[in-house]
Chain A
Amino acid sequence: MKTIDAKGVYYRDLNRLIRETINNGEREIYLKNVKGQYYICDGIKGKNIKVTIDGIPGNDLAAFMDGPTVILKSNGQDNIGNTMTGGKIIVNGIAGDVCGYAMRGGKLFVKGDVGYRVGIHMKGYKNLNPVIIIGGKAGDFLGEYMAGGILILLGLNAKDNEPIYGDYLGTGMHGGVMYIRGNIDLSRCGKEVGIKKLDKNDKKILSSLIKEFSEDFSINYDKIMSKEFVKLYPKTNRPYGALYAK
């Protein structure tokens, strides 16, 4: 394992150092004293690469990443996993706005709350199927224009009757699926979505993903599953198909 001290290092130099270290064959990197450096781990490729981050990384952490695992020991900022293709990001704290934007594949697990516009326009591609799991609550526009993949919202830290999602949930959604723990108020959702009970296949997918999530954060699996989930799905795959044409 190679330790890199990021204290006072400009983001370009830090990212060059990370890429060089990986190109030299290192498979495990520990970044310490990270404070606000943008674009960490962007576009890095390859399986069995693990990067652990101590500190607060700047925006666009692991954007366009394809394959590696990034473990953030505490909180993250905005745009985590922007357009990522593969690999996994684990955030042991809260995350900001627009995380998982246009994500194409891989997994983004956040232990706490996330900001606004998370998972907007996420989309699978061929055999890729992106997954976002949020342990806390989410802001407005969760999964807006979602075109594929799986988005799971748990709200484990919510107080009684506190809403775990904001307005415009799934507005413009035309692909993929959301599993929300607890009830759904359809007046806060986009017109394009419907709700259903989970079928056998849904339960199988959910159970396996929640198991992985519960192990990553040492949260009791049964506690998460003790509440019913609702499935949110797009009623049509072309919600605006007739907007400009008959």
Chain B
Amino acid sequence: MNQQKIFDRGIRNISGCGLVGWINKNRKKVSGEIIKKSVCLLNDRGNGLGAGFAAYGIYPDYKDLYAFHLMYDTKKSQNETEKHLKETCTIEHLEPIPTNPKAIKNSNPSLMRYFLKPKLAGKNIDTSANTEDDEVVKIVMAVNDRIEGAFAFSSGKNMGTFKGVGFPEEIANFYEIDQYSGYIWIGHTRFPTNTPGWWGGAHPFTLLDWAIIHNGEISSYGINKRYLEMFGYKLTLMTDTEVATYLFDLLVRKQKLSIKTACTILAPPFWKDIDRNNSNSDSMEKLRMIYGSAALNGPFAILFAHKNGLVGFNDRVKLRPLVLGTKGDTVYMSSEQSAIYVMCDSPEKVWSPKASDPVIVNLNKN
């Protein structure tokens, strides 16, 4: 991958990534323009070494197919990846991702998208969605792990991630995200602290329809990585946030735990609080003991989008900011309250959730 020089944009005093989230429970769509404006208000929280967006509901014409977004360093990496995709999938449609290269200062990798379905014939499996999902996870892991200079950065249905190295305005204009309309949006500006600023390292981190943006440092990365590797996940992105994406995939999709329980595993209550709260201390104790290696240590505020909704939550002692707002059927989330007011002039309610207490917003059933 193109590894940019990390400190090529001068030193800044303000630090901390910036997060923005938007969801309409009744699937009313908005253009990416408003999300761009909101993330741009948080411009100084990043340093131009990564920005990105994810949107849900953007590919209605191909909604039953997996939308793969790929970045390539070379023609060779593209050929090799397309060969692998043709072997493992039926590709219904492929095209370059529309971009405006003038919007960014640096060079960009070649960007393609594929609407596809994994081939299941000949495999000793049923055709349930979960099995297709498993195949897609395998394909993503194989491309990112084995094909040099290729990176699958989006692989969900009817959703897409758009990210790269640059400030949020540059990346938004580069991908022309105002041309997409979605009912869930997340947006991020990055200030990398101890991992490289490269195209694949920008947020969101996406696998299937799980997309995660994060502000903080996951200091338990090593433990989480080894735990996930036992389940076949390959951690190739040189960035801590990756573990959160795969943990949600493992806990919610594979192990069928509720999102609330998954969040409890990621940010478990302290032992003193388990002792103090007798009513559910037994189940909390079990979760901590079974899933100790899945707990995230270190400061974080995370927004986590998926096909059915959006979740915002913090580490256990709230070392990173997170503010929420509501108006009607729409819920807004951000690192800073002012970014919520960019999306909505007059929210009905604005508040900060308690540490490790996830705010789970689900789409209404169709």
**Residues of A near any B CB (own CB < 8 A):** 11, 35-36, 38, 55-59, 75, 77-78, 94, 96-97, 113, 115-116, 139-141, 166, 187
Asked if B318 and A139 make an inter-chain contact with CB atoms under 8 angstroms apart, the answer reads yes
Indicate which residue in B14, B318, B337, B354 contacts A77 across the interface (CB closer than 8 Å): B337
For the complex formed, measure the closest distance between the CB of A150 and the CB atoms of chain B, giving whole angstroms.
25
Count of residues in B whose CB is under 8 Å from the partner chain: 20
- Give the residue of B317, B323, B338 whose beta carbon is less than 8 angstroms from that of A58: B338
Report whether A97 and B276 are in contact in the complex, using a CB–CB cutoff of 8 Å. Answer: no
Taking the complex as formed, is B104 at the interface, i.e. its CB lies under 8 A from any CB of chain A? no
Using known A-B contacts A75-B350, A94-B350, A96-B352, determine if residue A36 contacts B338 with beta carbons closer than 8 Å.
Answer: yes
- Residue B7 CB within 8 A of the other chain: no
Is the contact region of chain B dominated by helix, strand, or loop, or is it mixed? mixed
Q: Return B290 CB to nearest CB of chain A, in Å.
A: 25
How distant is the Cα of A116 from the Cα of B44 in the complex, in angstroms?
A: 23
Chain A residues with CB under 8 Å of B337's CB are 56, 75, 77, 96
Decide: A140 and B317 in contact? CB cutoff 8 A.
Answer: yes
Contact check, A94 vs B321: say whether CB atoms are below 8 A apart: no
Q: Are A78 and B321 in contact (CB under 8 A)?
A: yes
Interface, chain B (partner A; CB < 8 A):
14, 41-42, 44, 276, 317-318, 321, 323, 336-339, 341-342, 350-352, 354-355
Bound complex: CA A58 to CA B336 (Å)? 8
A229, B85: Cα distance in complex, Å: 69
Structural contact, B336 and A59, CB atoms closer than 8 A: yes
Assess the B341–A38 pair: CB atoms within 8 A: no
Nearest B residue to A59, CB-CB: B336
Q: Smallest CB-CB separation from A39: which chain B residue?
A: B14
B351: chain A residues within 8 A (beta carbon) = 94, 113
CA distance A241 to B336 in the complex (A): 39
A35 near B338 (CB under 8 angstroms)? yes
**Residue ID in chain A nearest B14 by CB atoms:** A38
Evaluate contact between A56 and B341: CB separation under 8 angstroms: yes
**B355-A140 in contact (CB<8A):** yes
Please determine whether A56 and B321 come into contact, CB atoms closer than 8 angstroms.
no
Nearest chain B CB to A186 CB, angstrom units: 13
A113 — which chain B residues lie within 8 A by C-beta?
Answer: 351
Can you list 12 contacts pairing A with B, beta carbon distance less than 8 Å?
A: A35-B41, A36-B339, A38-B44, A56-B341, A58-B336, A75-B337, A96-B321, A97-B352, A139-B355, A140-B317, A140-B318, A140-B355
> Shortest beta-carbon distance, B345 to chain A, in Å?
10
- A113 and B349 CA atoms in complex are apart in Å by 13
Q: Which residue of B lies closest to A93 (CB)?
A: B350
Query: Taking CB as reference atom, which chain B residue is nearest A98?
Result: B321
Instruction: Determine the chain B residues whose CB is within 8 A of the CB of A140 once the complex forms.
Output: 317-318, 355
Starting from the known contacts A57-B338, A96-B352, A97-B318, 16 additional A-B residue pairs (CB-CB under 8 Å) come to: A35-B41, A35-B341, A36-B41, A36-B336, A36-B338, A38-B14, A38-B44, A55-B338, A94-B351, A96-B321, A96-B323, A97-B352, A113-B351, A115-B321, A116-B318, A140-B318
